[in-house]
Amino acid sequence: MSGIIAINGSPRKKWNTAMLLEKALEGAASQGRETELIHLYDLDFKGCTSCFACKLKGGKSYGRCAVRDGLTTVLDGIHDADALILGSPIYFGTVTGEMRSFMERLLFPYLVYTNPPSSLFERKIHTAFIYTMNVSEQQMKEYGYPLLIAANAHVLSRTFGHSESLYAFETLQFEDYDKVVFSYFDPAARRERRKTVFPEDCRRAFELGVRLGKAH
């Protein structure tokens, strides 16, 4: 579909990452855009298999992923999209495995091994990446997350022409902390942050969607 597509790399369909993606799409819809939210954990797919069919001179799959599975229609839709938003929680210092596998399949076919590397994506579109994380902003910096965020922004910009990043810190991890073994921080403080800070995160996601909706 043309319009704005959001990709949820979280296994949770109604929690932090998905909520921010939904807000971003609401912002895009406010500009008259068609929108679609895709949950990667609903799909049956794997990462890049290094078949290199997307790189063969004159090959029928040149510039497109040759693997046919649950991701194929998604990749076809992104090929025609006006904008793309990715979203993932941070697990052990990086995006989820599903998101990483998706990014391999999305980005590698468009990569041309020129010097410097170039892109086969035929247009310039705006992209964004929304990250949610359990740590504070200070911890995010100490743990080196900005390197991950910058690397993803770089490859998205190189492939599609433009990218921006949004992150939400210290998100609510459990609905009921009393049911789990947990002493990492004060659950009451995290629940309060959900009421006072997360709405601001949602507002920023909505405004991101508005920008993407206006960009094309």
Q: Where are the domains of the chain?
A: 4-215
DSSP string, 76-90: HHHHT-SEEEEEEE-
Among 9, 33, 40, smallest CA distance to 129 is for 9
Looking at residue 183, what is its pLDDT?
Answer: 84
Looking at residue 174, what is its pLDDT?
Answer: 85
Classify burial at 14, counting beta carbons within 10 Å of its beta carbon; exposed 0-12, middle 13-18, buried 19 or more.
Answer: exposed
CATH topology of domain 4-215: Rossmann fold (3.40.50)
Looking at residue 2, what is its pLDDT?
Answer: 67
Q: Are 35 and 4 in contact (CB under 8 A)?
A: yes
Among 129, 132, 131, 18, smallest CA distance to 84 is for 129
Query: d(Cα 208, Cα 138) in Å, to the nearest integer?
Result: 23
Q: How many CA atoms lie within 13 A of 2 on its CB side?
A: 7
Looking at residue 99, what is its pLDDT?
Answer: 98
Report pLDDT digits (tens) over 78-119: 999 999 999 999 999 999 999 999 999 999 999 999 998 899
The residues of the chain scoring below 70 in pLDDT are 1-2, 216
Query: d(Cα 186, Cα 177) in Å, to the nearest integer?
Result: 10
Query: d(Cα 18, Cα 120) in Å, to the nearest integer?
Result: 30
Query: d(Cα 53, Cα 56) in Å, to the nearest integer?
Result: 5
DSSP assignment, residue 69? S
Looking at residue 185, what is its pLDDT?
Answer: 84
